[in-house]
Structure 1
Amino acid sequence: MAPHSEVENEEDIVRLPAPEKPQMSESPPRLIIIGAGSRGNAYARALGEATNGICAAVVEPIPYKRQALGRAYIWGDGGQPADGQEFEDWKDFVAWEEARRVKQEAGENVPEGVDGAFICVQDELHKSVILGLEKLNIHIMCEKPLATTLNDCIDIYRSLLPSGASKPPQTLFSVGHVLRYSPHNMLLRKLLLEDKVIGDILSVNHTEPVGWWHFAHSYVRGNWRKESTSAPSLLTKSGHDIDVLLWLLSSPPPNSSLPDHLPSTITSSGARQFFNKHRKPAAAGSATNCLSCPHESDCMFSAKKIYAGNDLRGLGSGNTGWPVKIVVPDIEDYVAKGGQAAGEAAILKELADDYDENTPAEEISKKNWFGRCVWESDNDVCDDQVVTMTWDNDDNASAGDGRGPKIAQFHMVAFTAKICERYTNIYGTTGEIYADSDCITVTDFTKPTRPLDPRKEAAFESKKFYPHLAGGGHGGGDDGLARQFVLAIDRVKRGDDLMTAQEEELGCTIEEVVMSHAVVFAAEEARRNKVVLDFPEWQVRLTSLLDKEDNIMCLVRMLLIHALRHGRAQGNTIEEVLQLASQRQDRTVMWIDGRAPILCSIIRGSIDVNIASPSDHLTKAVTRGGELASVMGQLIAHDLRRGSAQDISRLSPHEVSVGIATEEVAAAIGHSRSSLRGGITSQYVGKPNNNLWRKRIQEESEDHFDAGQPYAKTGEAAHNHRGG
């Protein structure tokens, strides 16, 4: 990465000036911003202020947001967008760019295209946008997190590396782990890994103070309040904290040929501790909205105070940016046209929006309710969480190389006065560091400032480092990432090797991106299951998932095992079922009795195949099975109850993810732990060698039925029912 500028020395203090803006090249990189929210605007600003790139176009479905970003960073205030500078949907951009290239090849005069994209849409849309842009072969920077599930991260990995790690990618790729690129953290890594100012690292305590009202805004009322519509808060809020810890503690120093020194164990604890209904003040009564609540004037979480007041960052303080702009995107227009009163009226109108017990859950989850009582919201993410990682002595370890045993603890906490001003204590063999996002204080144990006296507290020489704090977000990390991404694109455009530009400018590969996300998912698994997770063993599972040639856990096979265990399918073994099915024109399985569902139930989150289940439990069992088989959304439980699972026969290869034999899978298919340990379960997990199974999974096929034998919802044609 670009080195810091010259250092200005003072006694016990080192101050570092701002990194210089790169010089514009003859053909500067052109970037499109996909998503004109807070993060899209942050990168658009950084492009102009900190890089040698050009913000060339914007994609945003909300007209006001799209036009505001365009006026600020593309076509200018008072100007109008030219062809190819604004799009409502990313698919419109893809279609336009494909047509532009066709015209260009035909010799027509066309607008310039773009070299890369900043993807800043909602987290759950990242995968579809990345895969959708793949055909354009442009460089991508995706805002963090990469995706909201491990399977989606793996699908993105495969799309970027279709041949696996054996062949390099065709384009640059980065993710919005901006903490790696702040001047503060870049210097911290240098001090630790290159200068060895505290010797080998032994222990780290790192805290992210979210801020009490910031958490209420984003994670109780806002976009990231529910795991089902977003992801765990450890991923959405603190994913780049885990990433920066791995960057400091696992990644080798520059020019090292050693592999990453990954954690040995991971554990986590945390919960939604405060924002629960039982903590609601009695004075609030049955109110669900701040504007109608009798306790509002005394409540620190009052939406009216947070968004319209003057004590925090409300409109009354003169702020029209975040978080006010999140509630009313065009707040500046209201204030410009009607003054402060018009702006406040627009905010209060939005805050008054509420729901009740008759509102469909789908409608509640698909939007934000910024006026909702924080103890009556539908939030379910952790507001306090600790992650502990330990490292064993590495086989390649030698004295002073930092690959010995160590421990790191990360704490994400909502209830703080500080807002995202992270602070870290790092303890080494010869000193310690305290870093607070502004200053890095290094204390050297080898340099006492006075003779040690057992009656007095020891004192040692310390030095303070003050890296430049840029005006952008995350301590200059937004500017830093944008600068390095554009520099990498510029180098590739000028003919430099792509992987060299990726490593030297971005300093992070797609494998490292996936690994840091995997650690977050591993921590969440440890938290939910209340276990200390063996990470090397978990990593074997991850590596297996990343290998495109690895086995597939077939949901059809799993369901047939359920059926066979209870005599619901013709035949007594999988082989007999296959033999009978192969004789049928439509290659389907005949149920013995289509009226009787597979016997399975949900007990404390686990599937029990020995208990007859009501239909809602069957739906949950199918959903759980689909999660384990990584084919969610491909099976309709209602069809299964009717005796048909034909949707499975239509799966194309890219819709089937890999799976491996784990205790969870064994429980789902009714196997004991001894069966798992004995290798029996592994026989039911994988891409079956039988041609019939391969055909049903890999080919687009459809079952055919005689007109006289339609699907039947009752037992009238039970023996004509067919299943997958």
Structure 2
Amino acid sequence: MRREEGGVARRAALPCREGPKPEQYLFTYLRLHVFEAMMATSRQISILIIGCGNRGKRYSSYALCHPTRMKVVGVADPRSSARKELQEMHPMDPANVFDDWRPAAERERFADAVLIATPDRLHKAPAVAFAHKGYHILLEKPMATTPEDCKEIVQACQSGHAILAVCHVLRYHPVVLKIKELLDSGLIGDICHIQHLERVGFWHFAHSFVRGNWRNEAESSFSLLAKSCHDLDLINFWMGGKRCLKVSSFGNVSHFTKGHQPKGASSRCWDCLVEPTCPYSAQKVYLEPAKKGYFDWPVSVVCSDGTYDIESLTDALRRGPYGRCVYECDNDVVTNQVVNMEFEGGATVGFTMVAFTEKLGLRKTTIYGTKGELHCEGGGPVEVFRFLEKEKTTFFPEKVSSVPASLSAHDGADFYLIESFVSAVAENNPSLIQTGPEDTLRSHLLVFEAEKSRRENRVVFLER
């Protein structure tokens, strides 16, 4: 087995009879190393934060690590504790602190850009309003919860000449970029089939999609959009310019229903007789880590008032939504789903999302080509077997720049995302964005068509 660990020259010398040209290996190198050059040359941008929950706070922390690159100048959030916490992180003019985004949008523009990290169903209105004001927009995924709203956001950004970046952080993941580099090089020939698996994690699904903000479609969105629009976006990315022609999908709500509640269970974990034997126990998920001093996500979500101590957490579990029995929640989003796709040229794709996994958020991908197979799990490495040489080669993704802990999620992809957006705004160069408006709209529309197939139990043919 060969091991390739960086160094363009070494990879260019790959002994493949019809292998990639040296310049084709520059893809990941340029995509990642370009950040270092930009950080030394770009101007500081100012940004307004709309919604300072977990994602809003994390992305805003970039300004603390790189104050010459980004400055947070305002915040809008209906929760006073959330506003106060962000104000303490980023001193700002009190006139730029709002309990609603609308007054901020009515003013003359006072920042270069806006980060919109509101709940999913509240994305469209602020995105359209701020685009019309000329703000560049970093928009948390999903773009919106209906095809019509997604299209309206794109149209508003186009008419307002606003740079739009949707937070598909996996597009910036070093492993994802390495896979794209290898596919574009022709190393495994033409793509015939992609098999992609998203393992959500058993307690993560219970936290976010049974007890949490994305549990109920009427209040948020369906789980394929909320959780897996990342993955269908990746599939589109790897397939290049080829269009999906038809899609089918199946899925359902499994296990987290009243009918599966153990005998003798209570409606809350705190006083439940079967809690010691329940893997989804709120005490196990939240209280046990807190007793060891861990108050980061997901424990931080439970302490919604910004007070991080055992007493506040205990009270929240006794009274709040995260202390509920997972078998007595108002969840209605599917726990497992498959999506089958056929692309131009005959390539097929099978995507699976499943809640009941040990691993949390680690994808597993196999891509079958006419000249070889590509395999990758989690953060890599990427293994390629070439049919002609009957040889397996291991490729390691490039990892550059010092990534701060607050933006280290997804192997640093959170950092690469915000860094590319800041650079794009500072340089007025939308090409630095991995997920521009049209590309993101195309992948979102595919998600909506897949869900239509699941609901209507039929194959959906996409418009040409």
Do the two structures share a fold, i.e. TM-score over 0.5? yes
* Paired AA for residue 517 in structure 1: H
Residue identity matched to 1:315 = A
Out of 313, 322, 341, the residue aligned to residue 297 of structure 2 is 322
Structure with more relative contact order (C-alpha pairs < 8 Å, separation 6 or more): 2
Determine the structure 2 residue equivalent to 1:440.
382
Summarize deviations over 1:118-143 as a string: whole Å, max 9, x none: 11111111011112213421111110
SS in 2 for 1:157: helix
Partner residue of 1:60? 77
* CA offsets 1:255-310 (integer angstroms, 9 cap, x no match): xxxxx3111210111100121111111232xx21111221112211111121101x
Aligned residues: 437
Structure 2 equivalent of residue 518 of structure 1: 445
Q: Relative to structure 1, is the Cα distance of residues 532 and 479 closer, same or farther in structure 2, using a 3 angstrom cutoff?
A: same
State the distance in 2 between where 1:507 and 1:26 align: 18
How many Å apart are 1:197 and its aligned residue?
1.4
Q: In the aligned structure 2, how far is the partner of 1:171 from the partner of 1:316?
A: 46
- CA 26–127 in structure 1, closer or farther in 2 if over 3 Å, else same: closer
2:156 partner amino acid: S
Q: 1:197 aligns with which of 187, 198, 202?
A: 187
Q: Which amino acid aligns with 1:294?
A: L
2:97 counterpart of 1:86: yes
Per-residue Cα deviation, 1:616-655 (whole angstroms, up to 9, x for no partner): xxxxxxxxxxxxxxxxxxxxxxxxxxxxxxxxxxxxxxxx
Question: Contact (CA 8 Å) 2:114, 2:130: kept in 1 or not?
Answer: no
Letter aligned with residue 468 of structure 1: K
In structure 2, the partner of 1:37 is 53
Q: 1:185 aligns with which of 155, 158, 176?
A: 176
Separation in 1 of the partners of 2:42 and 2:166? 27
Q: Determine if the alignment matches structure 1 residue 383 to structure 2 residue 374.
A: no
SS for the counterpart of 1:55 is strand
C-alpha contact (below 8 Å) 1:48/1:55 kept by paired residues? no
Q: 1:513-543, CA deviations, whole angstroms, 9 ceiling, x for partnerless residues?
A: 22111100100000011111112xxx25xxx
Query: 2:88 aligns to what?
Result: 71
CA contact (8 A) 2:242 2:344 kept: no
Amino acid in structure 2 at the alignment position of 1:348:
T
* Larger strand percent: 2
SS of the residue corresponding to residue 415 of structure 1 reads coil
- Provide the rounded CA distance (Å) in 2 between the counterparts of 1:298 and 1:261: 49
The alpha carbon displacement at 1:6 in A equals 5.5
Match of 1:447, SS?
coil
Corresponding position of 1:243: 233
Q: CA separation in 1, counterparts of 2:7 and 2:49?
A: 33
Relative distance call for 1:388 and 1:49 in structure 2 (3 A) is farther
Residue 406 (structure 1) shift: 0.9
Cα distance 1:473–1:261, how it changes in 2: closer, same or farther (>3 A)?
Answer: same
Deviation of residue 24 (structure 1)?
Answer: 4.9
3-state secondary structure, aligned to 2:115: strand
- Structure 1 residue 83 displacement after superposition: 4.2
> What letter is aligned with 1:151?
E
Contact kept, 8 Å, 1:47 with 1:483, in 2: the verdict is no
Matches within 5 A, 1:638-677: none
Which runs of 5 or more structure 1 residues have no equivalent in the other structure? 76-80, 102-112, 163-168, 252-259, 335-342, 355-368, 394-404, 449-459, 493-500, 541-724
Give CA-to-partner distance per residue, 1:204-260, whole Å, 9 cap, x none: 1111111000000000000000111111100001111111110111x3xxxxxxxx3
Which of residues 362, 370, 374 in structure 1 aligns to 2:322?
A: 370
CA pair 159-16 structure 1, distance change in 2 beyond 3 A: closer
**Judging changes above 3 Å, is the alpha-carbon distance between structure 1 residues 282 and 437 closer, same or farther for their aligned structure 2 residues?**
same
Q: Which position in structure 1 is the counterpart of 2:350?
A: 409
Using the alignment, how far apart are the partners of 1:350 and 1:137 within structure 2?
Answer: 41
4+ residue segments displaced more than 6 Å: 14-18
TM-aligned CA distance change 1:481 to 1:84, over 3 Å: farther
Q: Which has the larger radius of gyration?
A: 1
Asked if the contact 2:6–2:396 (Cα under 8 Å) also holds between the matched residues in 1, the reply is: no
Post-superposition Cα deviations, 1:420-460, rounded to whole Å, max 9, x if no partner, equal 11121111111111112321112222213xxxxxxxxxxx2
| In structure 1, C-alpha distance between the alignment counterparts of 2:164 and 2:29, rounded to whole Å | 29
2:174–2:397 contact (8 Å) kept in structure 1: no
Question: Shift of the alpha carbon at 1:92?
Answer: 2.9
- Tell me how far apart the structure 2 counterparts of residues 474 and 517 of structure 1 sit (CA, whole Å): 21
TM-score using structure 1 length:
0.57
SS of the equivalent of 1:446 reads coil
Match of 2:20 in 1: none
For 1:349, the equivalent position in structure 2 comes to 315
Question: Does structure 2 retain, via aligned residues, the 8 Å contact 1:184–1:475?
Answer: no
- Structure 1 residues 265 and 135: alpha-carbon distance in aligned structure 2, compared to 1, 3 A threshold: closer
Give the Cα–Cα distance (whole angstroms) in 2 for the partners of residues 47 and 346 of structure 1.
29
Query: Counterpart of 1:267 in 2: which secondary structure?
Result: strand
Of 130, 133, 137, the residue aligned with 2:130 is 133
Quote the Cα distance in structure 1 between the aligned partners of 2:292 and 2:354: 26
The 5 A counterparts of 1:79-118 are: 81-95=92-106, 97-98=107-108, 113-118=110-115
* One-letter identity of the residue aligned with 1:68: E
SS at match of 2:61: helix
Q: Note closer, same or farther for the CA distance 1:437–1:130 as it changes in structure 2 (3 Å cut).
A: same
Partner amino acid, structure 2, of 1:207: L
Contact 1:24 1:53 in 2 (8 A): no
| Alignment RMSD (CA, Å) | 2.6
